[in-house]
Structures are given as structure tokens and as C-alpha cells.
Structure 1
Amino acid sequence: MRPSRTPAVALAAALTLTAAGCGSGGGDSAKAPSKATDVARADAICRTANTRITTAAKQTFTAAVPTLPQIRRYASTAFFPVVERELRDLRALTPPAGDDGAAEAIYDCDRARPDSGARESGAARTAREAQPFTAANAQARRYGLTVCGAS
């Protein structure tokens, strides 16, 4: 659900993605918006998060090669708090009628957690950990999101 990140940001995400919290969401289905409205609202949330993440990365990573402490500090103080808020805000949206859980499946961060593939081969797990949002991005694009599904 993230746009392309600098290598340091991608590394920070891969190193500490298990810190992201997951929860269930949902809103009041009696006030369900159209899918177009849902997509616009979700993409607006992602756009705001992307701006916050990019701004924090530019402020944190001033050297060509960031240090591991810089990456850890960025991940814990900027990246994950923004992603957690983004997921909370996305889950708070009321999905459109007939959604059948498609939106919630996109926001299910368990798919992105490095420890979720205990039975995967080493190569498959390494590839998934290097790009933790690949599955969520693909689902988001299929659903019609453009900002949230950018990679």
C-alpha cells in the first residue's frame, strides 16, 4: 500500500515490519458509500500517509548510505506510526455495499508480516520480506485504488 521507497526505507520496513499492529475494522454498513467514494477516501488517506513518510525520510536520511541506527529510529518514530495510523484510518472507512470483505482483505497486514510465512522456502520468504506490501498493493490495484496500490 506504499509507493516506491528509498532502499533505506524498504530495508527499515523489512527489518521491523512485525512491529505493525493489526486489527479488524469496519464501519456502519447502513451508511455505505459507493465504491468510487470509498476508493477516493482510501486513496486520500494513503496520499496523506505517503507525504508524511516521504517528508520524514528526507529529514532522517541525509547521507547517501544511512546507518542501521538511523533506519531503526526512522522505522520506530516515523514509518510504523504513520503506517499504523493509515491502517486504522482505512479500516474506519465504511466499505461499499456488496464489498464482501475485499477492502478489509487489502488492509489485512498479516499478509505483509515477515513471520507469516513460516512454511515458505527461504528464497520465497526473503523475496516477500524484501517487498512486504506486494500482495496488498496488488489487491488494492485490483480493487481500484491508485495511491494505496502504488508500488
Structure 2
Amino acid sequence: MTAARPTATGAPGYSETMPCEPESAHHARQLVAIALSAWGIGELADIGKLIVSELVNNSVNHTNCRTIRVLIRWEGRDMVRIGVADRSRDVPVLGKPDDEAEEGRGLLLIDAMSLKWGYDRKRWGKVVWAQLRATPAGTASVNRSA
């Protein structure tokens, strides 16, 4: 069972440290689904699970990390931030893979599915995150500019 942990600003959040391995994506998806359901915005679960999977896979495939930390935070009335922290200071780059490429589309998916995404550099590494908005009608709001 995962318990909500308040952040310093009083906003509820869920977080968990996991091994930096492909199998952690499954556990991260479960954590996102639990958090969104607990907050009454389970309709965002499919998008949230896809985003966290891509963020975990980016850490696994592009860093030399031993562990990652998955962070899900409620921000304001209608905003959720999903992030993955790792100890690498290398920042993600939005790629432009050609039609034949089998990799390199993760951040493009995140860009298309989220309202906004980015990264925060830390002294110890970085947090790559994406924001989702729950609209008053209970539907997800995504970035339509991609």
C-alpha cells in the first residue's frame, strides 16, 4: 500500500524510490493510477501511466542510475505533476527521429500528451516532469500544439 505524503507546500503527493530497471515502469504505472484514483481524477490514469512509463524508461535507458524516484504531486485546484528523479545531470532532449527509427519518440509522446513538460536540475541530478490538468468536466486537458 502506498500512502499519500504531504509536501512542504501542503499539497498531497505520492512518491516512491525504485530500482533503475525496466520492471519499475510497471510499479510506477500502478503508483500513478492509485494517486489519480485517490484524488478522484482516475480519468487521467491512462495518460498518466503512459507518461510515467516513458519517464522511467528514459532514466533506465539514458542514465547510469541505480535508483529512481517517482513523484506524483497535486498542484493547485486542477493540476497534477508526474516526475521521475535520477542522479544524472544530463538533461532530456526532444528528438526528431526519422520514420524508420525504432526509438526516440518518448519525449514526443510526453509533449503531445501533457499540458507541459520539463526538467529541474538539482545539485544531485534532475527531475523530469510532465503536468496534466483535470478540467471541471472531469476530462483530461492535453497539449494540442504538438
Common fold, TM-score beyond 0.5? no
If you compute each CA radius of gyration, which structure gives the higher value, 1 or 2? Answer: 1
Structure having the higher strand fraction is 2
Structure having the higher helix fraction is 1
TM-score scaled to structure 2, two decimals? 0.32
Say which structure, 1 or 2, has more relative contact order (CA 8 Å, 6+ apart). Answer: 1
